Amino acid sequence: MIPKRAVQGMTLKMLPFADAASDGLPLSQLLRLSLFQISVGMAAVMLLGTLNRVMIVELSVPAFIVATMIAIPVLIAPFRALLGFKSDNYRSAIGWKRVPYLWFGTLWQFGGLAIMPMALLVLAGDSAIDAGFFGQVAAALAFLLTGLGMHMTQTAGLALAADRASEETRAKVVSLLYVMYLLGMGVSAVIIGSLLKDYSSLLLVQVVQGAAVVTMVLNIVALWKQEKMSPMTKDERSAPQPAFRTAWADLTRETDMLRLVVTIFLGTIAFNMQDVLLEPYGGEILGLSVSATTLLTAMWACGALLGFGLAARWLSNGIDTYRMGGRGVIVGILAFSAVLLSAPLASPILFYTGAALIGLGGGLFAVATLTAAMTINVAGSAGRGLALGVWGAAQATGAGLSIFIGGATRDLVNSAASNGILGDVLQAPSIGYSVVYQIEIGLLFITLVALGPLVRAKGLDTSNPRKLELTDFPI
């Protein structure tokens, strides 16, 4: 007979992310903690996808107002660094640092989603009296609360996971949390899209407020008994706290954090400018059907999951995280080159290949930079919450700005081309898209330049190999 311990060991090895657990963070608690990423992914889908479309199509809200509302969560993203710093130095009688920020972030996120559908209906004029400017103020407040809650919850949650994980498992925890975020976005998009298929005002209220309740439930389950109590004395609570400026100076003096922030920001913009352009490019330029362009999301997701598998193998062999990020950038350059060449070659296959490679390169880059921020050595008054807040601020700000820059650039170039400003040769409808893709390729080369000194500074360390254990993840 096979010993019971051998069976248990085989089971754990066969489970995805089983080796992400440690004595300080068992697998059951890690999986429960990761639920906050699902709620954040659900809110991101709600803000950037579902409500974007509902406001423009069903509610007939002007596109400028919609863009302004969606930009609000992006504008407050830089405050994630401050939120992370505050959670590093929060003092309470019971000694909690991260849980209070997780809780209040949950409250903000719940409150924003709870009032959002009513605010949007008032904004669209669906009210008994003419609310006037109040509708815009209410909608802006709803987006502000939801965005603030998302940033606070994710920053504190990532910092708590980093605090509880060991040095050997911290990189594995990064990947688990990132996968849970993508899982939350994917599952939420399917469910919310199905529920709102037959749109009505009442259904909008039910779905969005239902998402608020799900957010509260998921986050309460996630934070329950995740941080140990360490009671503080009155003198410890009243001791002066370090200034944010001092903590920032400690963080940037002891590490290459500034260069990492610039690299994250540039790379995120480069990979995300195509978010709103890829499907229109396939339909308008290559003549693909709606169902054919819908497959692009699946191709991107497959590429991203393949990136996780490669990250697992490379990190298990001891590759430096910055080198892995550089490989992701190089894959991105090849990806956008393939998309760019698919129009003159009239090759849908090349186009789909480029979409998959975008997911692969972007996934490698995101995991590499998040791992670097989560495992970075902090010193002085700087804490891990500040480092992760800086990563989140750079990533979220870059992602939000890139979508606006990509869409605006395409529209401006196409307008200039159609008016003959660019000459007779450059009047094809693909010119605007091509300019955006070429800008992305240029930004990826600049990202490589910014990333280079980080690789030289840290080097390749094979003495302490790290395993992500993602090779068993179903791809």
Q: Which CATH class is domain 25-226?
A: mainly alpha
Q: Do domains 25-226 and 247-475 have the same CATH topology?
A: yes
Closest by CA to 221, choosing from 24, 33, 28, 27, is 33
What whole-number distance in Å separates Cα of residue 109 and Cα of residue 11? 37
pLDDT interval class at 444 (50, 70, 90): very high
Whether the Cβ atoms of residue 387 and residue 251 lie closer than 8 Å to each other = yes
What whole-number distance in Å separates Cα of residue 131 and Cα of residue 157? 38
Q: What is the pLDDT of residue 347?
A: 83
Supply 297's token pair: 């999301």
DSSP code per residue over 395-456:
HHHHHHHHHHHHHHHHHHHHHHHHTTTT-STT-STTHHHHHHHHHHHHHHHHHHHHHHHHHH
What whole-number distance in Å separates Cα of residue 94 and Cα of residue 63? 48
How large is the angle between the packed helices 321-342 and 257-272, nearest 10 degrees?
A: 20
Supply 238's token pair: 């009243």
Q: 10 Å Cβ neighbour count for 190?
A: 11
Q: Which has the higher per-residue pLDDT, 134 or 248?
A: 134
Least-confidence region, from 138-147, 259-268, 295-304, 343-352:
295-304
What whole-number distance in Å separates Cα of residue 162 and Cα of residue 383? 11
Whether the Cβ atoms of residue 96 and residue 90 lie closer than 8 Å to each other = yes
Express each pLDDT in 65-78 by its tens digit.
776 777 788 777 77
Q: Can you say whether residue 125 is alpha, beta or left, with left for phi > 0 and alpha for psi between -120 and 50 degrees?
A: left
Q: Is 90 helix (H, G, I), strand (E, B) or coil?
A: coil
What whole-number distance in Å separates Cα of residue 70 and Cα of residue 192? 18
Q: What is the pLDDT of residue 218?
A: 93
Residue type, 288: L
Q: What's the pTM value of the predicted model, to 2 decimals?
A: 0.71
Q: Which has the higher per-residue pLDDT, 208 or 285?
A: 208
Closest by CA to 162, choosing from 318, 22, 311, is 22
Express each pLDDT in 176-189 by its tens digit.
787 788 788 778 87
Q: Which has the higher per-residue pLDDT, 423 or 28?
A: 28
Average pLDDT over residues 454-475: 46
Q: What is the pLDDT of residue 384?
A: 66
Express each pLDDT in 303-362 by its tens digit.
877 887 777 677 667 778 888 889 999 999 999 999 888 888 878 888 888 888 988 998
What whole-number distance in Å separates Cα of residue 77 and Cα of residue 90? 20
Dihedrals phi, psi of 385, to nearest 5 degrees: -60, -40
Closest by CA to 51, choosing from 209, 167, 163, is 209
- Cα-based angle 71, 76, 78 (whole degrees, multiple of 5): 120
The CATH architecture that domain 247-475 belongs to is Up-down Bundle (1.20)
Average pLDDT over residues 434-463: 77
Give counts: helices (H), strands (E), the chain.
19, 0
Whether the Cβ atoms of residue 474 and residue 323 lie closer than 8 Å to each other = no
Q: Is 277 helix (H, G, I), strand (E, B) or coil?
A: coil
pLDDT interval class at 216 (50, 70, 90): very high
Q: Which range in 206-215, 250-259, 382-391 is most confidently predicted, on average pLDDT?
A: 206-215
> Residue for token digits 């300080």?
24
Q: What is the pLDDT of residue 333?
A: 93
What whole-number distance in Å separates Cα of residue 35 and Cα of residue 157? 10
Supply 213's token pair: 């309740």
Supply 63's token pair: 């596109």
Mean pLDDT of the chain: 77
Least-confidence region, from 55-59, 60-64, 193-197, 467-471:
467-471
What whole-number distance in Å separates Cα of residue 29 and Cα of residue 21? 9
Contacts for 281 with CB less than 8 Å, ≥ 6 apart? 339, 343, 351, 430, 433
Whether the Cβ atoms of residue 471 and residue 309 lie closer than 8 Å to each other = yes
**Distances in Å between the alpha carbon of 255 and those of 139, 261, 275, 462?**
41, 11, 32, 20
Q: First-to-last CA distance in the chain?
A: 33
What whole-number distance in Å separates Cα of residue 401 and Cα of residue 390? 16
Closest by CA to 92, choosing from 81, 103, 82, is 103
Average pLDDT over residues 35-63: 78
Whether the Cβ atoms of residue 331 and residue 311 lie closer than 8 Å to each other = no
Q: 10 Å Cβ neighbour count for 22?
A: 18
What whole-number distance in Å separates Cα of residue 113 and Cα of residue 100? 20
Residue type, 391: W
Supply 474's token pair: 């179903």
What torsion, rounded to 10 degrees, do the Cα atoms 331, 355, 306, 267 define? 50
Q: Enumerate the domain spans of the chain.
A: 25-226, 247-475
